[in-house]
Structure 1
Amino acid sequence: MAWLASAQQAVVGGVLLWASGFKLLHRNASAHARRSVLAKLVGKERAAGAYRAVGAVEALVGLLLLAPPVHAAEAYAAAVLSAGMLGYLAYGKLRAPESSCGCLGDKHTPVRGRGFARAALLGVLSAVAATATDPWFDSPLATVGVLIVEGAVIVALSPELDGRWLLRLRRWRVKRRHPLAGHTVEIPLESTVQQLWKSDAYRSVVEQLTSDLLDHWDEGEWRLLTYAARTPDGSATAVFAVPRLAYEPDRVRVALVPADEEVLV
């Protein structure tokens, strides 16, 4: 089972690089750090710097795990990081239970059992990786298989990533199992307008609108609404695309079309 131990280098190293990439490169990393448990631990004024420092350590250990030669010390360092994460989560659970973990994404996710399970799993995988004697790329097919299986488990234990798979899965299940699935449902225009008012897209141009609703029509899963508007360049038509079959204000989009251009739908 030497190949299994070697594959853990890629799994743990990949997760650490993923985590470090968010902390070091994401444009909202500093703001997220100030909303995380780390702000309670070191203070809001030092949270961003500490956040990036943790990301730098994760990046270093991750790269060492992925690059040859194989040293047990790299895996032990990853195990220490996992143990530190468990302590960090325990502190957050006790002192700042509603603060975000700040581990793998920018979604606000208070400390819960899934975070503890993920940190513990990474600790176990790191311990297994410490027994490896060959680099992970010596068994590429086996490593890919392990990456797929264990990566799926880690994603499932990461509430920060729920929006990328779990919510979409739930929506699919609702569409398939809903008692009205397959039946034509007429969505009231008032419901669409209320959803529009709740959207960031509407708020971003509301001061430029100069009329009430002018026209509306449906295109597949979207309902298009038009309003008169005025921009610094002159009169325009604001065209909003609003989800027709779901309440998702964050998906609303807007386009300001100059009055002298023809709108083709």
Structure 2
Amino acid sequence: MIDTIAALQPPVLGAVLIWSARVKLFSRHAAAAAHRSALTRLLGQRRALPAYRLLGGVELTLGALLLLPPVLRLEAAAATLLAVGFLAYLTYARRAAPASSCGCLSARATPVSGRSLARAGLLVAAAGLAWLLPGDWPATLTARPLAGGALLLAEAAAVVALSPELDAAWLLPLRRLRARLTHPLRGGTGLPLLATLQQVQLSDTYRRVAPLLRSDVREHWDDGDWRFVGHAARYQGRAVTAVFAVPLADRDPDTVRVAVVDDSTGHTLLALAGTPKPSGPQLDVVPA
């Protein structure tokens, strides 16, 4: 069984590398993605984009070699070294430049997270297997089409699930579907969504962006101590999403924040925090 798994790793690796190269070489947002990445800190502003493009060329070449049989052991070894390099780079980026974007499988701004590191670890394991136990993946897939197909689908699903930059393609639609299938005014933590919406609508941040809104609540989710509520909106002629962040433990409207996010690029175009409360002692006014 392990021989079958090892033999089927090259097409998985090749597909991931070609997809990653597509972003670096052909995306119109590649320059922005490169400058948001940790390459800027590592190599400098001027060298970040050339290095990003060069990496894309390496990924495209190696990905094509892995997809075209026969897969040589040298190609699997190169894929292993590249995967280890990815893991080391992401570890560096998370520690040295936590605000930087991954820039891996999408030009969308996505900070390096535990999921990104887990995906890199998965690619290291896949490439290592292909290197240590080389095999003929077309012959293996032909000999065991059901098991082989199921394995390829499972690995592809794992890569997608461990890629935060791809959430807009599958996770957000699932959240919208859940919102349509469940009661729209029921939250997930016991706090009714209606109470959250009242807090949002009483806030100064809501009044400041209300002219931009073009829909009612389109999606909502809880993450830690915060609830996020999304509305479709228009900003400077662009289709955007206004995402309100509301603390679950604080009912004060002044604590509500909002970010206006470009739907096509994922860039945050506008971010507003609540109006801070005045500091200092409060004086009781006694009428004369």
> TM-score scaled to structure 1, two decimals?
0.69
Q: When the two structures are aligned, how many residues end up with a matched partner?
A: 202
Aligned residues: percent identity? Answer: 44
> SS where residue 130 of structure 1 aligns?
helix
Q: Residue 165 of structure 1 aligns with which residue? A: 170
Alignment of 1:195 onto 2:200: no
Q: Residue 33 of structure 1 aligns with which residue? A: 34
**1:152/1:71 CA distance change after superposition, 3 Å:** same
Runs of 4+ in 1 over 3 A off after TM superposition: 131-134, 190-194, 247-251
Contact 1:34/1:44, CA 8 A, preserved across alignment: yes
CA deviations 1:198-253 (Å, max 9, x no partner) are 514xx239xxxxxxxxxxxxxxxxxxxxxxxxxxxxxxxxxxxxxxxxx99849xx
> SS where residue 54 of structure 2 aligns?
helix
> SS where residue 213 of structure 2 aligns?
helix
Structure 1 residue ranges without an equivalent (≥5): 182-189, 206-246, 252-265
Q: Residue 226 of structure 1 aligns with which residue? A: none
Structure with greater contact order relative to length (CA < 8 Å, sep ≥ 6): 1
Q: Residue 193 of structure 2 aligns with which residue? A: none
How far residue 156 of structure 1 moved from its aligned partner, in angstroms, is 0.4
Alignment of 1:50 onto 2:51: yes
The residue type paired with residue 9 of structure 2 is Q
How far residue 133 of structure 1 moved from its aligned partner, in angstroms, is 4.3
Alignment of 1:175 onto 2:176: no
* Residue among 172, 179, 204 paired with 2:237: 204
How far residue 135 of structure 1 moved from its aligned partner, in angstroms, is 2.5
The correspondence of residues 227-238 of structure 1 with structure 2, limited to 5 A, is: none
How far residue 163 of structure 1 moved from its aligned partner, in angstroms, is 0.5
Contact 1:114/1:157, CA 8 A, preserved across alignment: yes
Contact 1:33/1:39, CA 8 A, preserved across alignment: yes
How far residue 28 of structure 1 moved from its aligned partner, in angstroms, is 1.0
CA deviations 1:63-122 (Å, max 9, x no partner) are 111112221111111111111111111111121101001100011111111111000000
**1:39/1:134 CA distance change after superposition, 3 Å:** same
Q: Residue 153 of structure 1 aligns with which residue? A: 158
How far residue 128 of structure 1 moved from its aligned partner, in angstroms, is 1.3
Contact 1:195/1:248, CA 8 A, preserved across alignment: no
* Mapped partners of 2:180, 2:163: distance in 1: 25
> TM-score scaled to structure 2, two decimals?
0.63
Contact 2:212/2:234, CA 8 A, preserved across alignment: no
> SS where residue 71 of structure 2 aligns?
coil
* Mapped partners of 1:172, 1:192: distance in 2: 25
Structure 2 residue ranges without an equivalent (≥5): 187-206, 215-231, 239-259, 265-288
Contact 1:12/1:126, CA 8 A, preserved across alignment: yes
How far residue 153 of structure 1 moved from its aligned partner, in angstroms, is 0.5
* Mapped partners of 1:16, 1:62: distance in 2: 5
Contact 1:23/1:55, CA 8 A, preserved across alignment: yes
Q: Residue 9 of structure 2 aligns with which residue? A: 8
Contact 2:80/2:131, CA 8 A, preserved across alignment: no
* Mapped partners of 1:125, 1:41: distance in 2: 27
* Mapped partners of 1:249, 1:63: distance in 2: 33
How far residue 193 of structure 1 moved from its aligned partner, in angstroms, is 4.9
Cα RMSD for the two superposed structures = 2.8
Q: Residue 281 of structure 2 aligns with which residue? A: none
* Mapped partners of 1:69, 1:148: distance in 2: 22
* Mapped partners of 1:249, 1:42: distance in 2: 28
* Mapped partners of 1:161, 1:77: distance in 2: 26
